[in-house]
Amino acid sequence: MEDKKLHRVNSLQGAVEAPGDKSISHRALILSAISDGVCRVSGLSGALDVQSTAACLRALGVKINKAKNGAIVHGVGMNGLRAPQKILDAGNSGTTIRLLSGVLAAQNFTATITGDESLRNRPMRRIIEPLDLMGARINSDDFKAPLTITGGPLRAIDYASSVASAQVKSCILLAGLYARGVTRVTEPYHSRDHTELMLQEMGANIRSSEALAAIIGPCELHARDIDIPGDISAAAFFLVAGALIPNSQLVMRNVGVNLLRSGILHTLTSMGVNYQLSDQIELNNEPRASITVKTSAWHATTLGGALIPRIIDEIPILAIAATQAEGVTTIKDARELRVKESDRLAALASNLNKMGAKVREKEDGLVISGPTVLKGAELDSHNDHRIAMAFSIAALIAEGETTIQNAECVDISFPGFYDILESVIHD
């Protein structure tokens, strides 16, 4: 395991290409794999999580060729997947295991899918129960991976999810592709809608409105070339850094600004950050833009309710920003962060305390007072990519040296993060 040492910097300047959106990349590979032809996917994320999805699909008989800036996926159709010869390994990726489970639930074979230690401790009841209602048989130990899924004919259901989770919703919708009738999913709040937009692009009969999504099955998916925008969750680390560090200006190019993912922009506005959008276009139903951010004076805010699903991946870096904001920032309704790659609320509170921040951990969030001068410290990444990246940015404004333990875990979502960060540092 490799540690990373970082120090305070004086300025960030330059333009950055965000890596391909990880959420959209998973969906592009899976939907292309069960489509009726060849799909060229450009802008594909190189994240280890996405590589896990590709490896699972190859094990299911899908041919995926590497291509410049992406991949070529040879779709096998809705019923062309083959029984795997070994256990499917989703690695650290909750998206891989949950979305593929929806597809596996409809196949005429049995498959087992698992992941690393972190993934094996993440909750799977939330997908097992609806898939069981649809007719799949899933064996597990205490509703945790590994999952052994015996697929077969599925029936449409109306399902009210207790959590606003795009992974849960997508799992059910993908199973609904195979079920006869209308499968409906409702959520407490509207989660990201990349699955719905891509299904629509590929010809599925799907409708969504606010916190309801419905798909009519069975249906075929038609191959489409897909261009993936930059990942706004990855860009968020640089957006916050550019607004925190003095004398800075950064441009993030070709970033996806889907309304249900761009809660970070709403939050930056509410906290007083100076940013601008340019070059706005839409491809494959996904809007994208360049975002320019400058050093700003931050002030506190309250983050909660329907906003949380739109910023769930950005909360770690927003917690760092809150330490520099004038006033008390409250993060609430974010209990879901306790069942991510790590218990992110506990990890944030522990590391922020080590750096001298004024933070109070609550069951569903954090209360952070600022501004506070952060001190360099030795910090545990908890093998969580977003914790490692968030505290790497914190190190750039802290006094003294900061060490991020097991920093290579950033490759789970953002390979090359540290190289790009070093390229924009101006001391």
For residue range 115-132, list pLDDT tens digits in order. 999 999 999 999 999 999
pTM (predicted TM-score): 0.95
193 is catalytic: no
Mean pLDDT score of the chain, rounded to an integer? 97
The two structure tokens encoding residue 294: 């400058």
3-state secondary structure of 99: helix
The answer, yes or no, to whether the previous bond of 229 is cis (omega within 30 of 0) is no
Q: Among the residues of 271-343, which ranges form H helices? A: 308-311, 315-322
Bridge partner list, 375: 399
pLDDT at 22: 97
Of all residues in the chain, what percent carry a pLDDT higher than 90?
A: 98
Asked if the model's pLDDT at residue 210 lies above 90, the reply is: no
- Options 313, 380, 384, 411, the catalytic residue: 313
Mean pLDDT of 128-148: 97
pLDDT at 68: 87
Mean pLDDT of 160-164: 95
pLDDT at 384: 97
Amino acid at 248: S
> Do β-strands 249-256 and 13-17 pair in parallel, antiparallel, or remain unpaired?
parallel
- Digit-coded pLDDT (tens) for 374-414: 999 999 999 999 999 999 999 999 999 999 999 999 999 99
Kindly list the distances between the CA atom of residue 96 and the CA atoms of 43, 74, 109, 213, 424, in Å, as whole numbers in the listed order. Answer: 18, 19, 19, 20, 32
Q: Which helix (H) or strand (E) holds 160?
A: strand 158-160
pLDDT at 1: 58
Asked if the model's pLDDT at residue 201 lies above 80, the reply is: yes
- Digit-coded pLDDT (tens) for 98-113: 999 999 999 999 999 9
Angle formed by the axes of helices 166-176 and 94-104, nearest 10°: 20
Mean pLDDT of 227-249: 97
pLDDT at 69: 87
Structural domains of the chain sorted by starting position, each given as residue range(s) with its CATH number in brackets: 4-20+230-424 (3.65.10.10), 22-215 (3.65.10.10)
Asked if the model's pLDDT at residue 146 lies above 70, the reply is: yes
Mean pLDDT of 196-214: 95
C-alpha angle with apex 177: 172 to 183, nearest 5 degrees? 55
Q: Among the residues of 189-258, which ranges form H helices? A: 194-201, 232-244
Asked if the model's pLDDT at residue 355 lies above 70, the reply is: yes
pLDDT at 427: 76
